[in-house]
Amino acid sequence: MIEKINGLKGCNVVIKLGGNILNDNIIEDIADDVVKLSRAGVRPVVVHGGGHEISKMMEMLGKEPVFVDGLRVTDKETLDIVAMVLCGKENLKLTSLIIKKGGKAVGLSGKDGKTIVGKRIEKLGWVGDVKEVRTELLDVLLERGYIPVISPIAIDDEGNLLNVNADIAAGMIAKALKADKLLILTDVPGILRVRNNLDSRIHKLRLEELSQLIQDGTVSEGMIPKLRAVMQALEGGVKSAHIVNGMEKHSILLELVGEYTGTVITV
């Protein structure tokens, strides 16, 4: 396995970690695997979510989470909560864990270096679509062997902070970096043909098949932005996208050596 990983030296790999994974013991193994990749000369960029923790914090503060097509409706107060949870808690925890494991992690959010430029979706409040990803800061970090760990907060041209979906952020970052692979680690085994049937995983898909899965309702809620992110990434030249169960050990390494455990999507 390590030999195959060594063969990936110089590859850009964007790894998106869903919020549920960050709060499971598996995150220790994932941090170890990210450090292994970095040591082997692979250039991992980590993007994390935090949906569950944000909802928990909102409820503690007496606010009810509302979603439209998997995107969180975000008023000003909710934006503060999103930033507190993502940057102040989840990013801090993940970055320090990777450092503890021996990796050169740097925590940032999409606003830093104006890396993720957002465009406000007004009907959802302070939510953004990703207009552009500027890679200067990431290039500098990656060149020096740092592992960027990114919270999905964008900044728009007026300087407003925007809550962006972490999958979309990861997809657009992968596209901008012309990454070799986009890995989306979540809490289900991949895209399921029947949502509640864990045995109904779709093993392989082509880019052209994705929009139908959204249209016919096969995927819903949090899986919708994943498919949109994958479409952006593959249309932008990323070679393959992988939606996998991050709760399984070594899901990242297995995927990179071609032992596919989830859904693989190619052009």
Ligand X SMILES: Nc1ncnc2c1ncn2[C@@H]1O[C@H](COP(=O)(O)OP(=O)(O)OP(=O)(O)O)[C@@H](O)[C@H]1O
**Which residue is catalytic, options 16, 36, 111, 181?**
16
Least distance in angstroms from the C-beta of 50 to ligand X: 5
Q: Nearest distance from residue 19's CB to Mg ion, in Å?
A: 7
Query: With binding defined as CB under 6 A, does residue 230 bind ligand X?
Result: no
**Options 12, 55, 95, 186; binder of ligand X; rule CB under 6 A:** 186
- Please tell me whether residue 166 binds ligand X under the rule CB under 6 A: yes
Stretch that binds ligand X, among 1-9, 18-26, 29-37, 38-46 (CB under 6 A): 18-26
CB of 200 to ligand X, least distance (A): 8
Closer residue to ligand X in complex, CB, 5/30: 30
Least distance (Å) between residue 89 CB and ligand X:
13
> What would the x/- binding string for ligand X be over residues 44 to 73, using CB under 6 A?
-----xxxx---------------------
Backbone angles phi, psi at 35, to 5 degrees: -65, -40
The residue from 29, 112, 167, 180 that is catalytic is: 167
User: For 9, how many CA atoms within 13 A lie in the half-sphere containing its CB?
Assistant: 7
Q: In this chain, which of 222, 234, 252, 265 binds Mg ion, going by CB under 5 A? A: 222
Q: Which of residues 199-228 bind ligand X (CB under 6 A)?
A: 218-223
Q: Are 50 and 90 in contact, with CB atoms under 8 Å apart?
A: yes
- Please list the active-site residues: 16, 19, 51, 167, 226
Binding positions for ligand X, rule: CB under 6 A: 18-20, 49-52, 166-167, 186-188, 191-192, 195, 218-223
